[in-house]
Amino acid sequence: MDPTTPTFNLKAVVQETGVKPDTLRAWERRYGLPEPDRSSGGHRLYSQRDIDTLHWLLARQGEGMSISRAVELWRQLEGENQDPLQSAEYGVADQANGMPLVDGEEVTAFRQKWIEACLGFNERAAEQVLAQGFAIFPTEVVCLEVLQRGIREIGEGWYAGTVSVQQEHFASALVIRKLESLLSATPPPVRPGRILVAGSAEEEHVIGQLLFQLLVRRKGWETVYLGASVPMQRLEESLDVVQPNLVVLTAQQLYTAATLQFMAANLAHRDVPVAYAGRIFSLLPDVRSRISGHYLGDTLQQAVERVEKLMHAPRALPEVAPIPPASQAALAHFQHKASAIQAQVMTLMDRGDIQSSHLEVAGLNLTRAIQAALQLGDLGLLGSEILWIQGLLHNFEIPPAFLGQYISGYSEAAHDVLGELGQPILDWLQQVVAEIATADV
């Protein structure tokens, strides 16, 4: 869409920029910026460039300029045959795109108070902290700097062994409930188009999806949320009803990135525009080359900005790197033999020193991780999974030997069951066994 085409009414611009209607009219009257068109009924119609102009002016105000000085600078740059929006020195910064970023001691203090309340299972205190935060800071700041960063710090505490799983679940439940209430209070959409949001199959993490939706809705877009762990069939059934302009899929873990890859490929074959996001794609950038969709970036701010660009000007999907034939063959063979490997592992390691429940959990996670890496075409992706597990075992004071014993047993069973077709898997297992043995020396 041409960025100079008059498209947005006054309400949409207020929602997009946060500038009050009276202020918009005053700036137009006094300074000639922005320069909206008029509908046949005499109502103001703004273009995307008008909105970008307002963001530019707000950015200059944030730098300490008066509005009159900011307009003067705009006119000066135009007089020098420069587009102010493209100026290397004065281009619109990310924080001006309707996404205020606030940091400092005050917001950090709010976050720490909220974390302390959650860890103490004090729901009332946690709600009071948020109520005070929303009264002082913009909604986006509380959501990103208190809720998102706060729950991340609590998750890091769980990984380090200083936060219990019950404390983490309690805090997550509070965040989900708060975000759902904020979503229900968002005003009706004022911008054309519809965005469908879903977690990939088996992806249970929802906080990132809810935060993304909230930020996008506050920008005036309509979203339809299918929830977490959406199977491909359910997604396909929804397409004809929803008729989205863009489908956004999320995944946080390696094995759910593989299911997202499958879903994105199916949508691409149906010419449905796809975008995706999630922690795993930031942690393992190589995975992005296997996904038939637009990567939305490493942060929520980037995701919202890139979704807006895709909604304004859809782009062709990026080229996808092919999966090596050896990985495809090994995947098919492994899927057929995985249960036999797990049964043999249970037999090999039935020595009484490792609980059978631990073996079952380990088998499930290792099996789906190997399948995901093969589906994505690179067993090297599993390196981060092994490191994460090693750190978790250490932090929870589980004997490090457990991992080495299990991988050795799994490798022995895989050699017996897989044969030549599973050589890529066998080579990887042998390498991991050697690395763990070296680390234990």
Nearest CA-CA partner of 186 in 212, 215, 208, 206: 215
Query: How many angstroms separate the CA atoms of 312 and 8, rounded?
Result: 12
Predicted pLDDT of residue 48: 87
Angstrom distances, CA of residue 76 to CA of 69, 80, 81, 114, 396 = 10, 6, 9, 47, 62
Predicted pLDDT of residue 350: 66
Predicted pLDDT of residue 402: 74
Most confidently predicted of 54-58, 157-161, 393-397, 424-428: 424-428
Query: How many angstroms separate the CA atoms of 130 and 146, rounded?
Result: 8
Most confidently predicted of 76-90, 228-242, 341-355, 372-386: 228-242
Predicted pLDDT of residue 395: 61
Predicted pLDDT of residue 63: 64
Convert the pLDDT of each residue in 61-103 to its tens digit.
766 678 888 888 888 888 888 888 876 555 544 444 445 444 4
Helix residue ranges, H only, 270-299: 279-283
Predicted pLDDT of residue 232: 94
Convert the pLDDT of each residue in 45-55 to its tens digit.
998 889 888 88
Predicted pLDDT of residue 347: 83
Predicted pLDDT of residue 101: 46
Query: How many angstroms separate the CA atoms of 115 and 103, rounded?
Result: 17
Predicted pLDDT of residue 351: 56
Q: Indicate whether 17 pLDDT > 50.
A: yes
Query: How many angstroms separate the CA atoms of 310 and 273, rounded?
Result: 9
- Contact between 336 and 128 under an 8 Å Cβ cutoff? The reply is no
Min mean pLDDT across 99-103, 154-158, 300-304 is at 99-103
Min mean pLDDT across 58-62, 97-101, 174-178, 273-277 is at 97-101
Q: Indicate whether 400 pLDDT > 50.
A: yes
Convert the pLDDT of each residue in 183-230 to its tens digit.
998 888 878 899 999 999 999 999 999 999 999 998 889 999 999 999
Query: How many angstroms separate the CA atoms of 262 and 280, rounded?
Result: 16
Q: Indicate whether 1 pLDDT > 80.
A: no
* The length of the chain, given as a count of residues: 441
Predicted pLDDT of residue 104: 60
Apex 290 CA angle, 333 and 144, nearest 5: 120
Secondary structure of residue 197 in the 3-state scheme: strand
- Residue 47 backbone dihedrals phi, psi, to 5 degrees: -95, 170
Q: 401-419 b/e with 16+ CB inside 10 Å = b?
A: ebbbbbbbbbbbbbeebbe
Instruction: Locate 53 and state its tokens.
Output: 């102009």
Predicted pLDDT of residue 82: 85
Cis peptide bond N-terminal to 21, omega within 30? no
Query: How many angstroms separate the CA atoms of 211 and 183, rounded?
Result: 9
> What mean pLDDT is predicted for residues 311-320?
88
Mean pLDDT of the chain: 86
Convert the pLDDT of each residue in 105-134 to its tens digit.
788 889 999 999 999 999 999 999 999 888
| Percentage of the chain modeled with pLDDT above 90 | 47
